[in-house]
Amino acid sequence: MTAALRGPFLRAFLTASLTAGLAWVAGGQALLGRIDPALAVPLLAFPMILLAASQRREVARIRLRTAVLAMALLTIAQALLGLILAGSAAPFQLLLVLTLGGVAALIADMLVQWRPGIRTLPWLAALALLPAWFAAGHILLAALYRPAAAPAGAPAATMLTGLPLRWSGGDDLAAMIAEGVHDDPALARLAELGPVSLVDSLVDDVPPPGGAVLLAHPLALAPQELVAIDAFVRGGGRAVILADALSGWPPRHPLGDPRNPPVTSLLTQLLDHWGMALGAAPVEQGAAIAVDVEGKRLRLSSAGRFDRLPSTCRAFADEHVAYCRIGKGEVWLVGDADLLFAPLWHPLVPSAGHLRQADTMEWLAARLWTGAGQAMLRPLWIRSHAA
């Protein structure tokens, strides 16, 4: 390589390396367990300003060539990392980074080459560009990663649960009424994605036609409730069942209080009727584990495995999750209800859904309402070997 080419190549290589490093550390890839190229978008201005400053005395042709080479090296590096760590190069995300990287390089070059009467003005403008680009980048990503809500007129998902997802849990009924409805983040998030009907009985509150049922670690159900669930599914209904083998949901009341969630699943009779058996959660399991189901990331805690499944079922994530055809209907089963616990899925930054730790709510929405849960961009999770 000649001396004339060595300088531009070195600057391009350092720029690409810096951008990839920023995406890994400051962009949240390492913290979130993701390798999304798009997480580099809010950080592109900084390396591009440094590149423009390092070659401010070069002719326009050299500056352009170096910027193009830097973006090419960054694209190749991100594509390889995506293929190796997640099994996908995320071409749309790469195109987004390539396009916006070119825009950032052009703006940075214009600012550095600017020759106004006040010599410090270009550098002040370059410094102002950094927070503006950072904020605009996150606003753009929030929009692109935002999942679609259920279409207007979609039937409500009927939810039956023993988890404390509504009300404050206080002992004073008057105070609870005065405070009003206080939804857990999981219920609030589901309600943002589609209509939810929280009921106490599927016999008294029959799911609407075309609607789905979400059983999230319910209390003990009467025989007629179990019959109603079985009839709903066999008749062509859709259901998602979270049957926790060992609930870790923080109790709001003293131990032994019946208002607390059940310690373990009380759906054994229903599962046995369907030819299924949920095993105990492993005692040695400590921290939450990450599992992947059809490209979606779920984080589970003290999850049980389905030891027995009929031939109409397909197991995922080392038998922690299963999909089954029951009669004319279908059921998704998860051996854990703690996946609804907000710390396991909530974004690291409030209102920044693109920085989420798991796809739990998006995954549930896609199974409760047709057309919900999908977005233009999806997280590119680093493959999990925990389960």
In this predicted structure, the answer to whether residue 291 has a pLDDT above a threshold of 50 is: yes
Give the relative orientation of helices 360-368 and 185-193 as an angle to the nearest 10 degrees: 50
Q: Where are the domains of the chain?
A: 3-145, 157-368
In angstroms, the CA 372 to CA 387 distance is 27
Q: What is the mean pLDDT of residues 331-355?
A: 92
90 against 249, higher pLDDT = 90
pLDDT the model gives residue 120 = 87
Please write the tens of the pLDDT for every residue from 257-277.
666 778 788 899 999 999 999
- Would you give the DSSP letter of residue 149? P
Measuring CA to CA, which residue among 39, 28, 107, 26 is closest to residue 74?
39
| Per-residue pLDDT band at 350 (split at 50, 70, 90) | confident
pLDDT the model gives residue 385 = 54
AA letter at 85: L
| Per-residue pLDDT band at 1 (split at 50, 70, 90) | low
Measuring CA to CA, which residue among 268, 295, 263, 299 is closest to residue 281?
263
| Per-residue pLDDT band at 387 (split at 50, 70, 90) | very low
Full-model pTM: 0.89
In this predicted structure, the answer to whether residue 224 has a pLDDT above a threshold of 90 is: yes
Domain 157-368 belongs to what topology?
Rossmann fold (3.40.50)
Mean pLDDT, the chain, rounded, equals: 90
In angstroms, the CA 79 to CA 322 distance is 32
Please write the tens of the pLDDT for every residue from 82-119.
999 999 999 999 999 999 999 999 999 999 999 887 88
In angstroms, the CA 379 to CA 112 distance is 35
Please write the tens of the pLDDT for every residue from 299-316.
998 888 999 999 999 999
